[in-house]
C-alpha cells in the first residue's frame, strides 16, 4: 500500500449527544423543545413530485419571511443547515486573519472543534468564578474574531446588550459573532445593533425555540456586507444547502407567533419552577435565561447522578471537563416531565 | 470604521443554474429528472411532531439501506447534503498534502471553486481533441489527489472501469475520487474496485437518477478507513446535516427498484432518440452516457441558440468558456418535452 493516508486531514471528531430512539425516555440532553412545531406545519401537504427539482438556492421564501419578521432587508439574512452550518461557514469566512479568535473556556463545545479543523488559532478566555464572561478579556481589538453564545451555554447565563455593544465597538478590526441560539427564552437580543455596526453577526436556530431540530435550519443576521461575504463562501461550498421541505415547513412556523409565544411562556414557567425545586433539593443552580439549567448537586457527584438518571430512563448532559464536572445540564421539558424528574431526584437524594 | 474587512476570506462565488419558478418553462438546464420520485414517497405520512427532535446524526436508516442496496457494510457509506456537500468534505479531508490536485480542464465547474476556496493547489489536465480524458495525465503518483466525474460533465463521455483501475493502482499516495453523479444512465460503475483499493472513493447523488434534487442527498462509498476519515471531518463541521425528511423520504425510494429502472430506461431511450434528431439537424453531439447531451449546432452560434430557446421558454445550459463555447448542454426531459424542443429547433434552423 502507498502513503495516501499520510496526506489526510486528521481531526478528533466531535461526539454529539445521544439520540436514543426509545420514546419512553425523558430526553433532556440536547436542549430540544418538548412541544412540537406549530400545528400549521401538520396542515401542510407538500407536493412530493416537486422534489425532482432543485430547491431555490436563495431559499428566498424563508429568507424573505425571516427578514420581514425581524424588520430587516433580505440582504441582511443568511440561512444554513442548522446554526452549526451557519457558524462553521462564518468561521471559514470571517476568522481568516491568522490572529487568535477569542471565546470563553466554558462555552459551546463546537467552537474549538471548528477552529482546530480549519486550522484557525484561538485563545480561550476563562469565565470568572461566578461563571460569567469577563468583558475586559475581549476589548483588545487585536484578535482574529470573537464569538460567544448569549445566553452562554452550558451555563445559561445572559449578558446585556450594553456589554455586547462595548465589545463590538472596541473590536473594529474583527468580526464579532453573538450566537443567540437560546435568546428567545428570556434574553434581550443584540439584533438592533447590526444596523449600527457592520462587524456584528447574530446567529439563531430553529432547533430550540422553533421546535424544529429535525429540519436543520439556522440563520445569521448582520450588515448586508457581512451577509454577502458569507453567501459568497456558502455558494462556493454548496449552492443548494436548504432542502425543499426545510424551506417550506420552516417558512410556515414563522407565521404562527401565538403558538410560538405560548410554548416559550410554558418553558420559561417550567424552568423557573424547576429551578426552585432544584434549589430546595440543595442544588447550586446558575441563573438561566435559556431552555436548560446548569445545576450542581450537593450530596452526590454529578457523574453518579447522571448515571443513575440514565438507568431510570432520564437523559441529562454531563461534561467531564475541568471546572464544570460537578454540574449537570438539564433541558427543560414539559411540566409533567420535569415533575417526574423532581420525583426521581427526591427518591435518590 | 475599522479594518475587519481586510481579514475576510474573499472568493468569487459560484453561480448556480437558474431555477425559474414558472412551471410552463421546459427546464433543461440543471440535469434534473423529469419524472418525480417513486410514488411510494407520496404515500408516506411524516410525523411532523417528531421534527422537534434532532435527526439521527448517523442518518442510520439511509446509510444502512444504501449499504444493503450496494452490497456493502454501513461503515463503507457516507451521506451528505447533496454530492456537493460530500465532495466539498472530501476535498477538505483528502486533498490536504499541499501538492496539486488533478482534474480535467473541462469538467464539473465546482472542482476549482472548492480548491480555490480551500486554498488547495490544482492542475487542470486538458481533455484531448475528442473531449476525452487522457489517462497518461493521471499516472504520476505525485499529486495531491485526483477527481473526475464518470461519465464526465458536461461532455457526457464515459470511461471504462479498466481505465479507472489503472489510475487508482498507479496513485497509491493519493486519494482518487470518481464522481458517479450520472453513472445510472448507462455507465458501468467502478464501485467493485473499492474493496480492492483503499484509496478510491465513489460519490453518487439522489438529484439525478433518483429524482430528488429537492431533498439534497449525496453519498460516498469507499474503504471503511476512507469513510471514517470523512466522517471525522463531517462530525467536526456539522453533526446533524441530513434532516429528518431527507432521511425518511430518501430511504423510501431505494425500495422501489422497478420504478427507478423504468424511469432510467425512458430517459435513456429519449436521449438516444434526441441524439439522432440533433444529428439529423446538423448538430455535432458527443456520445453521452448521462441524462444530458452536449451538442454543438452547425449554422448558428450556441450562444444565439441558447438565447432564442430561452425566449421561447426552453432553458438550456451554455458555458461561455474556452473550447466549449460552441456547445449547449441539454438535459433529457420527457419524450414530450424533447419533441417540443426538436420542433423548436426545426423552426429556428
Confidence (pLDDT) at A4: 86
Range of lowest pLDDT (B14-23, B225-234, B262-271): B14-23
Q: In terms of CA atoms, which chain B residue is nearest residue A51?
A: B214
Confidence (pLDDT) at B7: 83
Q: Collapse the DSSP code of A315 into the 3-class scheme (helix H, G, I; strand E, B; otherwise coil) and give the result.
A: strand
In whole angstroms, how far apart are CA B37 and each of A28, A113, A215? 37, 37, 20
Residue B299 C-alpha, separation from nearest chain A C-alpha, in angstroms: 33
Interface of B with A in 171-210 (CB under 8 A): 171-175, 198-199, 207
Among A3, A10, A14, A52, the strongest candidate for a mutation testing the B interface, having the largest count of B CBs within 10 A, is A52
Q: In terms of CA atoms, which chain B residue is nearest residue A38?
A: B49
Q: Identify whether the C-beta of residue A337 lies closer than 8 Å to the C-beta of residue A28.
A: yes
Q: Which of A9, A214, A240 sits opposite B82 (nearest CB)?
A: A240
Give contacts of A35 with chain B, Cβ < 8 Å.
52
**Interatomic CA distance for residues B59 and B79, integer angstroms:** 8
**Interatomic CA distance for residues B257 and B23, integer angstroms:** 28
CB contact under 8 A, A199 and B84: no
pLDDT tens string A150-171 = 999 999 999 999 999 999 999 9
Q: How many CB atoms lie within 10 A of CB B107?
A: 21
Put simply, whether A119 touches B (Cβ < 8 Å) is no
pLDDT-derived band at A23 (thresholds 50, 70, 90) equals: confident
Q: In terms of CA atoms, which chain A residue is nearest residue B10?
A: A229
Q: Which residues make Cβ contacts (< 8 Å) with residue A234, sequence separation at least 6? A: A78, A80, A89, A241
Strand intervals (E) in chain A: 26-27, 77-80, 101-104, 122-125, 145-149, 176-179, 200-205, 218-221, 284-285, 292-296, 314-315, 328-331
Range of lowest pLDDT (A257-271, B16-30, B34-48, B291-305): B16-30
Interface of B with A in 49-108 (CB under 8 A): 49-57, 81-82, 84-85, 88, 92-94, 96-97, 99
Q: What is the largest CA-CA distance in chain B?
A: 63
CB contact under 8 A, A216 and B55: yes
pTM above 0.90, yes or no: yes
pLDDT tens string B120-163 = 999 999 999 999 999 999 999 999 999 999 999 999 999 999 99
Interface of B with A in 127-166 (CB under 8 A): 141, 144-145
pLDDT tens string A209-247 = 999 999 999 999 999 999 999 999 999 888 899 999 999
Put simply, whether B291 touches A (Cβ < 8 Å) is no
pLDDT-derived band at B272 (thresholds 50, 70, 90) equals: very high
Beta bridge partner(s), residue B9? none
Q: Which helix (H) or strand (E) holds B63?
A: helix B60-70
Beta bridge partner(s), residue B148? B178
Taking the alpha carbons of B184, B185, B188, B193 in that order, is the dihedral positive or negative? negative
Q: Which residues make Cβ contacts (< 8 Å) with residue B29, sequence separation at least 6? A: B17, B18, B315, B316, B317, B329, B331
Q: What is the DSSP string of B170-208?
A: H-TTS-EEEE-TTGGGTPPPSGGGGGT-TTEEEEEESSS
pLDDT tens string A75-84 = 999 999 999 9
Q: In terms of CA atoms, which chain B residue is nearest residue A196?
A: B1
Beta bridge partner(s), residue B80? B218
Q: Identify whether the C-beta of residue A80 lies closer than 8 Å to the C-beta of residue A234.
A: yes
Q: Identify whether the C-beta of residue A217 lies closer than 8 Å to the C-beta of residue A79.
A: yes
pLDDT tens string A96-116 = 999 999 999 999 999 999 999
Name the phi and psi angles at A145, rounded to 5.
140, 165
Among B90, B218, B240, B249, the strongest candidate for a mutation testing the A interface, having the largest count of A CBs within 10 A, is B240
Q: Collapse the DSSP code of B297 into the 3-class scheme (helix H, G, I; strand E, B; otherwise coil) and give the result.
A: coil
pLDDT tens string A256-265 = 999 999 999 9
Mean pLDDT of chain B: 95
Q: Which residues make Cβ contacts (< 8 Å) with residue B287, sequence separation at least 6? A: B156, B157
CA angle A303, A305, A310 (to 5 degrees): 95
Distance of CA B332 to the CA centre of its chain: 15
CB contact under 8 A, B4 and A173: yes
Confidence (pLDDT) at A1: 54
Check whether A8 has a pLDDT greater than 90: no
Averaged pLDDT, A29-37: 95
CB contact under 8 A, A2 and B33: no
Amino acid at each position: 500500500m502507498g502513503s495516501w493516508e499520510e496526506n489526510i486531514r486528521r481531526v478528533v471528531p466531535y461526539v454529539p449527544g445521544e439520540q436514543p430512539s426509545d420514546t419512553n425516555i425523558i430526553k433532556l440532553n440536547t436542549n430540544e423543545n418538548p412541544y412540537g412545531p406549530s400545528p400549521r406545519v401538520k396542515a401542510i401537504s407538500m407536493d412530493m413530485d416537486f422534489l425532482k427539482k432543485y430547491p431555490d438556492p436563495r431559499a428566498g421564501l424563508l429568507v424573505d419571511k425571516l427578514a420581514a419578521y425581524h424588520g430587516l432587508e433580505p440582504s441582511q439574512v443568511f440561512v444554513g443547515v442548522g446554526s452549526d452550518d451557519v457558524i462553521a461557514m462564518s468561521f471559514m469566512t470571517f476568522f481568516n486573519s491568522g490572529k487568535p479568535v477569542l471565546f470563553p473556556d466554558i462555552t459551546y463545545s463546537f467552537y474549538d472543534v471548528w477552529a482546530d479543523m480549519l486550522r484557525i488559532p484561538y485563545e480561550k478566555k476563562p469565565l470568572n468564578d461566578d461563571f460569567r464572561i469577563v468583558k475586559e478579556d475581549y476589548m483588545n481589538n487585536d484578535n482574529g474574531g470573537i464569538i460567544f453564545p448569549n445566553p452562554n451555554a452550558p451555563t445559561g447565563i445572559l449578558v446585556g446588550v450594553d456589554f455586547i455593544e462595548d465589545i463590538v465597538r472596541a473590536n473594529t478590526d474583527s468580526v464579532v459573532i453573538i450566537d443567540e441560539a437560546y435568546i428567545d427564552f428570556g434574553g434581550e437580543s443584540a439584533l438592533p445593533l447590526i444596523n449600527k455596526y457592520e462587524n456584528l453577526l447574530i446567529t439563531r436556530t430553529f432547533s430550540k425555540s422553533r421546535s424544529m431540530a429535525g429540519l436543520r435550519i439556522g440563520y445569521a443576521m448582520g450588515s448586508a456586507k457581512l451577509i454577502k461575504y458569507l453567501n459568497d463562501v456558502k455558494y462556493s461550498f454548496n449552492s443548494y444547502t436548504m432542502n425543499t421541505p426545510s424551506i417550506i415547513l420552516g417558512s410556515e412556523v414563522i407565521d404562527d407567533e401565538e403558538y410560538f409565544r405560548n410554548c416559550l411562556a410554558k418553558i420559561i414557567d417550567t424552568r423557573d419552577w424547576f429551578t426552585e425545586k432544584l434549589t430546595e433539593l440543595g442544588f447550586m443552580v446558575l441563573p438561566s435565561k435559556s431552555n436548560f439549567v446548569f445545576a450542581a448537586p450537593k450530596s452526590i457527584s454529578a457523574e453518579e447522578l447522571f448515571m443513575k438518571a440514565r438507568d431510570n430512563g432520564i437523559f441529562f448532559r454531563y461534561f467531564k471537563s475541568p471546572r464544570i464536572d460537578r454540574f449537570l445540564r438539564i433541558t427543560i421539558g414539559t411540566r409533567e416531565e420535569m415533575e417526574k424528574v423532581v420525583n426521581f431526584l427526591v427518591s435518590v437524594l
